[in-house]
Amino acid sequence: MDYISMIGNNLRRIRKEKKLSIFTVSLELQMSHHHLGDIERGQTNPQIKTLARLTDYYGIHMKELFE
């Protein structure tokens, strides 16, 4: 598995563990739900700034995306 897919899978898992919809997260972070979905599916390479916003929102450390 490549890093982009691993990051996406971990973001999706964390979002679901927190019982958040993709629409809720995208609305609160003011980002497109299509873009967030592409990140979670590993179809786009997210910017570090985007990953930082997501990890801050989820209350996790960025290293958790790579485990």
Domain ranges of the chain: 3-60
25-53 pLDDT per residue, tens: 999 999 999 999 999 999 999 999 999 99
Look at the domain 3-60 and name its fold: 434 Repressor (Amino-terminal Domain) (1.10.260)
| Torsion sign across C-alpha atoms 52, 33, 40, 16 | positive
- Rounded to two decimals, what is the model's pTM? 0.91
CA gap 67, 64 in Å, rounded? 5
- 9 pLDDT exceeds 90? yes
Q: Confidence class of residue 1 from pLDDT cuts 50, 70 and 90?
A: low
Give the whole-number percent of the chain exceeding pLDDT 90. 96
30: phi then psi, degrees, rounded to nearest 5: 55, 55
Who's near 44: CB < 8 A, 6+ residues apart?
A: 4, 35, 38
Token digits of residue 37: 């979905």
Secondary structure element (H or E) that encloses residue 3, with its range: helix 3-17
What's the pLDDT at 67? 86
- 20 pLDDT exceeds 80? yes
